[in-house]
Amino acid sequence: MYKKIFSLVAASLLLNFYLNASEKSIQKMEQSNINHQALNDLLERSIKTNSDTVIILHDGKIVAKYYSSELPQLIDVMEITKPIVSLAFGILEAQKLLKTVNQNVYDFYPEWNQGKKKNITIKDLLNNTSGLQDLANPNIEIVPTPDVVKLALSAELSNAPGANFFNGNKAINLLPDIVKKITKKTIDKYLTQNLFKNLSIKGSKWELDKSGNILGYTGLKLYPEDLANIGQFVLQRGEWKNKQVMSNTWFDLSLQQSQPFNPLYGYFWNLIPASTSYVIDDMQIESLRNSKVSEEFISKVVELKGTYKTIDKYHQKLETFLGPDWHQIVKNELKGNATLARQNHGTTIGYKATGRLGQYLVIYPDKKLVGVRLITEKPDAKQSDNFNDFADLLYKLID
């Protein structure tokens, strides 16, 4: 049904992107105010980065669709699984099966009704502030374990609940199990019945551990257009075909800063600001001192004082003063929630969920844009295949 895109040379050849599109769908594309040159640029980058799928929706209608093969396939959305898991809790609230996300997790696991673990709430799991010990690389502990739920329950605390942000994975694997405890249904069946059917999602497949637990941090496979529909559902704040499937207020919570440590993080959604600058000034240096950063390192930081308007300029400065290994140097020096530069963000213009390899679900509500980019693991993959500028190119589609 779908064919590769072969021509990306000029806007006049744009219709080649729709080799199987009906005349009606082409008219919708022309009426959508899409910047054709920007669309050309995005689709050209899609091919150069070895994308398997790119889907663009504007005002709820497909205006661009690219597949690298003849037929769409179920693709692992990787960590985009996380915000989809969080939607289950919004539905639980709407159905009054969950009174509040501030409910203590020990209500479901009585063994946690002791020590500091008794203070962990569902909200802490949703915004990565549970304090559970975790490692950045899931291959070390999570992937080999036969039971991800037992692994999370037995984890020690690295920090007091609610006292630190860590974008980990271990605690998240409790969320599907909590859904099962509340509904007596596995999360795949619960979401199929209460969300996926409403969105006419054609199929899904969830990854299990050896004990049969559904993973919460990764492993959900979806058809690309179905993932785009989930993005459209979020853009419409829980409304689908004139039916309010979820409470609008859930999105007030999940699509804004949900904890005091990371201003660009909601319930597994990354917030996209209009602009970001990076500031190293006397106040920031004093903050580093209070975080017990060594004076030797601070003497180097003093040389970096300034305001950097883009992350590229900021990183170039770090490389100039600290050398090509600046990433590791900064990581070794900073403790806890300490950051080298203070970030100043403009207003939020969109939301995105990302996954390993370069999976993207990007939403710009004011522009009525939803973009999906998915890729499968390839043995000859390059770093550039991550398509890091996908969200930026998507934003340019509407002037």
Per-residue buried b or exposed e for 347-377, using 16+ beta carbons within 10 Å of the residue's own CB: ebebbbbbbebbbbbbbbbebbbbbbbbbbe
Co-location of 49 and 163 in the same domain: no
Co-location of 205 and 241 in the same domain: yes
pLDDT in the model for residue 241: 92
- The rounded distance, in Å, linking the Cα atoms of 351 and 363 is 5
Co-location of 67 and 124 in the same domain: no
| Residue whose tokens read 């969109």 | 350
Domain that holds residue 99: 78-219+237-269
- Give the number of domains in the chain: 3
Residue 2 inside a domain? The answer is no
Co-location of 253 and 388 in the same domain: no
pTM as predicted: 0.86
Residues in a beta bridge with 61? 58
pLDDT in the model for residue 383: 85
Tens digit of each residue's pLDDT, the chain (399 residues): 334 443 333 333 343 444 343 332 323 354 468 999 999 999 999 999 999 999 999 999 999 999 998 777 899 999 999 999 999 999 999 999 998 999 999 999 999 999 999 999 999 999 999 999 999 899 999 999 999 999 999 999 999 999 999 999 999 999 999 999 999 999 999 999 999 999 999 999 999 999 999 999 999 999 999 999 999 999 999 999 999 999 889 999 999 999 998 899 999 999 999 999 999 999 999 999 998 899 999 999 999 999 999 888 999 999 998 999 998 999 899 877 788 999 999 999 999 999 999 999 999 999 999 999 999 988 888 888 999 999 999 999 998
Residue 334 inside a domain? The answer is yes
pLDDT in the model for residue 352: 97
pLDDT in the model for residue 312: 87
- The rounded distance, in Å, linking the Cα atoms of 360 and 357 is 10
Residue 5 inside a domain? The answer is no
Co-location of 261 and 112 in the same domain: yes
Co-location of 104 and 176 in the same domain: yes
Co-location of 109 and 95 in the same domain: yes
| Residue whose tokens read 């946690």 | 112
Give phi and psi for 345, each to the nearest 5: -115, 145
Residue 210 inside a domain? The answer is yes
- The rounded distance, in Å, linking the Cα atoms of 16 and 8 is 8
The alpha-helical segments, DSSP class H, found in 133-240 are 138-141, 148-153, 174-183, 187-191, 224-235
Co-location of 125 and 246 in the same domain: yes
Co-location of 139 and 47 in the same domain: no
